[in-house]
């Protein structure tokens, strides 16, 4: 049985932990709203761009198509772009992302493909290094900026495009969490390069005869890198929203756990206090009777 | 007849409104878009985008960087990577 002083200290330490988790929870809730708004604000651009892409990709086919659209012709070397957070305190979010990446990597390795990693964010580094130490091609650091924005997305995408142009991989997949609600963020694996253009007449201009300036191929060549950038950007935004959502949930749980723990410790503290008083009384009475 | 005009960046929907005419800095020269323009898709160069709310009004100038413009049945959609709003004259 711990002494009264020890119990008191323990309760105080749990209380201050609870204060921290509570504060973090409220910060996350406030940031979540902003992150969600940002993710929603970015959606129209992505939608319109894919619509234009779809209407254009249908027209430019065959050998004339840019490399980014038709790929290198082989699918031997795969690159997994894994987007993780920079900070912890967000529950199992990073673990889930890493797990999804590893499942994909194992699947590709089982098919005899080569797999390498491009890591964004700090938290994915250690767990992926543990299993695939030699396969980490590049780590992109986003820890210095507070809110990764389009500038970071552009930097990441441009690096990927350079690597692709140098022929260092054939297919790139993007692994990132999709924000569904504060309770669930599911990691998904999405093909990034070559660009998988969704076919169909989604384009607003797809119906009639459309004039192109300078030309279909030039526009497509200009559009494809933009599309990759947008996808990376969308992934970053989803990640930001997921991080705050997961953090809010995790911190809520932690706060509640701390509360339970405090209650239990308080009961224990009161019991031992009473036990001590009882013992003292018994001793005094026994002493008085002995006289 | 007004022209449906949308200006979108990755970060947000900057403009979505009915205007008279928009002058767009196309890759092969500036072009103006009025209601009923033929379907058209053009790459853009960095430069000023001028929005005329009504015929003859002073245009509002927006500095855009990197993008494409699409003219379809639903109007004009400009997708730009970056937009800098100038002094909104008019």
Contacts of B84 (CB under 8 A, 6+ apart): B62, B63, B64, B65
What are the residues facing B60 on neighbouring strands?
B51
Element (H, E) at A227: helix A216-290
Query: Which of A137, A133, A103, A87 minimizes the C-alpha distance to A246?
Result: A87
Q: Given a cut of 80, is residue B9 above it in pLDDT?
A: yes
Most B-contacting residue of A49, A151, A208 (CB-CB within 10 A), to test interface = A49
**The pLDDT value given to residue B72:** 84
Provide the residue ranges of all domains of chain A, joining segments of one domain with +.
4-21+251-290, 35-248
**pLDDT digits (tens), chain A, 291 positions:** 578 899 999 999 999 999 999 999 999 999 999 998 888 888 888 888 888 887 777 776 666 667 777 777 778 889 999 999 888 888 889 999 999 999 999 999 999 888 999 998 888 888 888 888 888 888 887 777 777 788 888 888 999 999 888 888 889 999 999 888 888 888 989 888 888 765 544 444 444 567 887 887 788 888 888 888 888 998 999 899 999 999 999 999 999 999 999 999 999 999 999 999 999 999 999 999 988
Which string of b and e fits A154-193 if b means at least 16 CB within 10 Å? Answer: bebbeebbebbeeeebbbbbbbbbbbeebeebebebeebb
**The pLDDT value given to residue A208:** 56
The interface predicted TM-score (ipTM) is: 0.79
**The pLDDT value given to residue A198:** 59
User: In this structure, which topology does domain B3-88 adopt according to CATH?
Assistant: ATP Synthase; domain 1 (2.60.15)
Torsion of CA A280, A285, A287, A288, to 10 degrees: 140
- The whole-angstrom separation of Cα A226 and Cα B76 is 19
Give A 218-247 residues with CB within 8 A of chain B. 218-219, 222-223, 226, 229-230, 233
User: In this structure, which topology does domain A35-248 adopt according to CATH?
Assistant: Pyruvate Kinase; Chain: A, domain 1 (3.40.1380)
Residue A182 gets which letter from DSSP? S
- How many Å from the N-terminal Cα to the C-terminal Cα in chain B? 20
Residue written as token pair 């002995």: A290
- The whole-angstrom separation of Cα A14 and Cα A8 is 10
Neighbours of A130 (CB within 10 A): 10
- Alpha-carbon distance A219 to nearest alpha carbon in chain B (angstroms): 6
- Is B14 in CB contact (< 8 Å) with chain A? no
User: In this structure, which topology does domain A4-21+251-290 adopt according to CATH?
Assistant: Helix Hairpins (1.10.287)
Based on the residue annotation, tell me whether A90 is a catalytic residue of this protein: yes
- Which band of pLDDT confidence, cut at 50, 70 and 90, is reported for residue B86? low
Provide the residue ranges of all domains of chain B, joining segments of one domain with +.
3-88
Q: Under a CB-based contact definition with an 8 Å cutoff, are residues A129 and A205 in contact?
A: no
**The pLDDT value given to residue A62:** 60
- The whole-angstrom separation of Cα A152 and Cα A42 is 15
pLDDT tens for each residue of B16-66: 999 999 999 988 888 899 988 888 888 888 999 999 988 888 888 999 988
**The pLDDT value given to residue A15:** 96
A4-21+251-290 and A35-248 share one fold: no
- Is B83 in CB contact (< 8 Å) with chain A? no
């Amino acid at each position: 049985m711990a002494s009264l002083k020890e119990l008191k200290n323990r309760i105080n330490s749990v209380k201050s932990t609870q204060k921290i988790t509570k504060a973090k929870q409220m910060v996350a809730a406030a940031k979540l709203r902003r992150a969600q708004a940002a993710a929603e604000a970015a959606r129209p651009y992505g939608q319109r761009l894919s619509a234009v892409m779809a209407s254009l990709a249908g027209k430019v086919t065959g050998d004339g198509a840019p490399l980014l659209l038709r790929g290198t012709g082989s699918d031997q070397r795969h690159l997994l772009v894994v987007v993780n957070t920079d900070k912890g305190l967000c529950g199992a979010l990073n673990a889930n992302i890493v797990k999804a990446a590893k499942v994909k990597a194992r699947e590709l390795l089982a098919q005899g493909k080569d797999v390498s990693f491009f890591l964004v964010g700090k938290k994915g580094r250690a767990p992926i290094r543990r299993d695939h130490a030699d396969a980490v091609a590049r780590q992109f650091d986003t820890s210095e900026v507070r809110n990764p924005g389009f500038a970071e997305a552009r930097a990441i995408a441009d690096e990927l495009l350079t690597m692709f142009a140098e022929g260092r991989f054939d297919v790139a997949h993007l692994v990132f969490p999709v924000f569904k609600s504060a309770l669930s963020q599911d990691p998904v694996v999405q093909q990034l390069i070559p660009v998988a253009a969704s076919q169909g007449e989604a384009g607003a201009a797809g119906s009639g005869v459309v004039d192109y300036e300078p030309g279909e191929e030039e526009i497509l060549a200009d559009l494809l890198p933009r599309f990759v950038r947008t996808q990376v950007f969308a992934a970053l935004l989803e990640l930001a929203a997921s991080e705050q959502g997961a953090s809010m949930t995790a911190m809520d749980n932690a706060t509640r756990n701390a509360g339970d723990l405090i209650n239990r410790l308080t009961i224990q503290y009161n019991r031992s206090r009473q036990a001590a008083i009882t013992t003292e009384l018994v001793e005094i009475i026994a002493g008085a009777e002995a006289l | 007849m007004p022209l449906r005009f949308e200006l979108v960046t990755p970060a947000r929907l900057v403009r979505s409104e009915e205007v008279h005419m928009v002058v767009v800095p196309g890759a092969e020269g500036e072009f103006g878009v009025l209601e009923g323009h033929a379907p058209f898709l053009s790459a853009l160069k960095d430069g000023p985008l001028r929005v005329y709310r009504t015929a003859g009004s002073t245009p509002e100038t927006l500095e855009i960087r990197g993008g494409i413009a699409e003219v379809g049945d639903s109007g004009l959609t400009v997708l730009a990577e970056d937009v800098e709003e100038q002094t909104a004259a008019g």
